[in-house]
Chain A
């Protein structure tokens, strides 16, 4: 019953979200930002329900899923139901997280994972425990600098190219590969 309600809610928002994503994929940055913004709320609800025993992991997984949606956005086909696409990505990341954890727990004492009922249920946005900004520092310069200039300082490709001394193509490739590398670092258990 709960699941039906949840799917229904997302379906109501589906058309709007899909419109934002379609415009975003066509190059409308504002629409894409709005899409990611709304999506993070959906992902938080979706993952919180499924990670009830691990509330501390929710926000990290929301961020990891957002990064995955961004990195794999070229696999969305305009004719496809958006809900199915999003849920498949979120579930994939959820399963990946649980697999990583179970591997780690086989190696380490699970005592640290004690959790109290008090922290189990709340609706506000928790802070992510993993700082993506710090992980960014692990990337090589050819990926890190384009991301910092273009994605964080908001420079254009041409400006970022001038600032780094890289070609415009290399800046674009650096951003693309850097964000994928970021996902790989997270996956590696950082």
Chain B
């Protein structure tokens, strides 16, 4: 087929294209991912029993804000990485900001605490399950975010996979906040982050294979 013929073929009946498809696809991935995580949480874990009183504590909201900050930053990253030729200017900063803020809070909490309390602040009661439960809750969002990315045109597949995975991890963690009893800043700064990084690593690993076009 000659190139001119290909041009005619592609143009024939091409029709109009709905604008803002990257935003639409990622938005529906976020919604489905959250719904899926909420469903899994309700079926397998249930909300923390003291949720009604926990919402009165500032730490509950700090935790939520940290996770929501990472979700927003990774959504921002995914939006940028899903379209060819878009610069990532603000993406690293947006991702680093919530992490650095949380680490700062964690450092302050650790410095202020007695030596004996520090291990409790860091390990809490659930350090051994927290990252895995976050990863488990992020599975529906992982599928949704990869689907959204797959339907767009990422050119840096590893990074795009990592961004989609991190978004999934943050959405899983957001729902996990409603179950998790931990309120220590050092715990959140480490184990939550680890839980979100596991799906991100999975995304980086699978990206080059799943996202090619």
Q: Tell me, yes or no, whether B53 is within 8 Å of chain A by CB.
A: no
Q: How far is the CA of A154 from the CA of B9 in the complex (A)?
A: 8
Q: How many angstroms from the CA of A148 to the CA of B27 in the assembled complex?
A: 35
Are A68 and B213 in contact, with the CB atoms below 8 A? Answer: yes
Number of interface residues of B (CB under 8 A): 33
Which of A29, A156, A179, A180 is the one whose CB lies under 8 Å from B11?
A29
Interchain CA distance A147-B6 in the complex, whole Å: 12
Q: Which residues in chain A, 140-155, are within 8 Å of chain B measured between CB atoms? A: 147, 150-152, 154
Bound-state CA distance A132–B6 (Å) is 8
Q: Please tell me if the beta carbons of B10 and A81 are within 8 angstroms of each other in the complex.
A: no
Cα distance A75–B153 when bound, in Å? 7
Q: Which residues of chain B are near A102, meaning CB under 8 Å?
A: none
> Is the Cβ of B16 less than 8 Å from the Cβ of A92?
no
Tell me whether B83 and A77 are in contact (CB under 8 A).
yes
Q: Which of A59, A66, A75, A152 contacts B22 (CB 8 A)?
A: A75
Question: What residues of chain A lie closer than 8 Å to B3, measured between beta carbons?
Answer: 40, 59, 62-63, 66, 125, 128
Please choose the segment from A7-15, A31-39, A104-112, A114-122 that sits at the chain B interface, where 4 or more of its residues have CB less than 8 A away. A31-39
Contact between A89 and B6, CB atoms less than 8 A apart: no
Q: Mark A80-115, 1 if CB is under 8 A from B, else 0.
A: 110111111101100010000000000000000000
Given A27-B15, A132-B1, A66–B6 Cβ distance below 8 Å? yes
A134 — nearest CB in chain B belongs to which residue?
Answer: B1
Interface string of B10-21 (1 = CB under 8 A from A): 111111111111
Pick from B5, B11, B153, B155: contact of A32, CB under 8 Å: B11
Give the distance in Å from the alpha carbon of A185 to the alpha carbon of B5 in the complex: 19
Q: Cα distance A190–B61 when bound, in Å?
A: 55
B84 within 8 A of partner (CB): yes
Report the minimum CB–CB distance from B117 to chain A (whole Å). Answer: 51
A3 interface residue (CB < 8 Å to B): no
Partner of A156, one of B2, B13, B19: B13
A-B contact count (CB 8 A): 117
Chain B 186-213 per-residue mask, 1 if CB under 8 angstroms from chain A, else 0: 0000000000000000000000000011
A154, B12: Cβ atoms under 8 Å?
A: yes
Once the chains are docked, how many angstroms separate the CA of A33 from the CA of B8?
7
Q: Which chain B positions have C-beta within 8 A of A73?
A: 17
- Please give the distance in Å from B85's CB to the nearest CB on chain A: 3
Chain A residues in 8 Å Cβ range of B18: 74
CA distance A91 to B15 in the complex (A): 27
Assembled-state Cα–Cα distance A28/B19 (Å): 15
The reply on A6 being an interface residue by CB < 8 A is no
B16 touches A25 (CB 8 A): yes
Q: Is the CB of A27 within 8 A of B9?
A: no
What's the least CB distance linking B159 to chain A, in Å? 13
- Say yes or no: A92 contacts B13, CB within 8 Å: no
Given contacts A68-B213, A85-B85, contact A26 B7 (CB under 8 A): no
B86: Cβ under 8 A from any A Cβ: yes
- 0/1 string, B61-73, CB within 8 A of A gives 1: 0000000000000
In the complex, A163 has a CB within 8 A of chain B: no
Interface pair A27/B16, CB less than 8 Å apart: yes
Q: What are 5 A-B residue pairs whose CB atoms fall within 8 Å in the complex?
A: A62-B3, A89-B153, A131-B1, A133-B1, A152-B9
Q: Which residues of B contact A (CB under 8 A)?
A: 1-22, 82-87, 152-153, 155, 212-213
Task: Tell me the A residues contacting B by CB distance below 8 Å.
Answer: 24-27, 29, 32-33, 36-37, 40, 59, 62-63, 66-68, 70-78, 80-81, 83-89, 91-92, 96, 125, 127-128, 131-133, 147, 150-152, 154, 156-157, 175, 179-180, 183, 187
